[in-house]
Amino acid sequence: MVQSVSGGTGSGQPANSNKAKPRVLPSRRRARRAWAALGIVIVAIGFLLYKGLGNSLVYFRTAAGAVQDRAQLGNKTFRLEGVVVPGSIHTTGTGVDFSVESSNVFVQVHDIANPPQLFQPNIPVVLVGHFQQNIFLSNQIMVKHSASYVAAHPDRVATVNGKKL
């Protein structure tokens, strides 16, 4: 609003009428910057919607679902989810071999990446990779931990100095 007034005094006016000029950017320049910023935001929204629609709607397939759609999936890369089967973890030279389970369907996994620090038996994981025959070749393991928070030592007692064990 100020810009429209100060913009009007910009040309052909006496010098003393330009007092307010340094305080605001010329309105056209300011508008151009604002429109450019808005344009960038719109492009960013478009990018996020594109990525969201492409990845988020079916973020992963469960092991049971993937086995059911095995023929349709072929060698396509996708995310597979399942719970790490206890006793199935074997460290290899390049990564780790293990099995995942969902709805009593088991899938054998050969992973070639370092597992994250929370990787352990009985934890849900999301794996990125593809089927090769009946083995799922994974190049990324993501741990999907639960929303429950349980104290590691729920029956902690205070020691003499007040600290808990």
Give the DSSP per-residue string, 31-84: HHHHHHHHHHHHHHHHHHHHHIIIIITT--EEHHHHHHTHHHHTT--EEEEEEE
Q: Is-contact 97 110, C-beta < 8 A? A: yes
Binding mask 115-154 for another protein (x = CB under 8 A): xxxxxx--x--x-------------xxxxxxxxxxxxxxx
Pairing type for strands 105-111 and 135-143 reads parallel
Binding mask 38-77 for another protein (x = CB under 8 A): x--xx-xx--xx-xx-xxxxxxx-----------------
Residue ranges binding another protein (CB under 8 A): 1-6, 8-9, 17, 19-20, 23, 27, 30-31, 33-35, 37-38, 41-42, 44-45, 48-49, 51-52, 54-60, 81, 115-120, 123, 126, 140-154, 156, 164
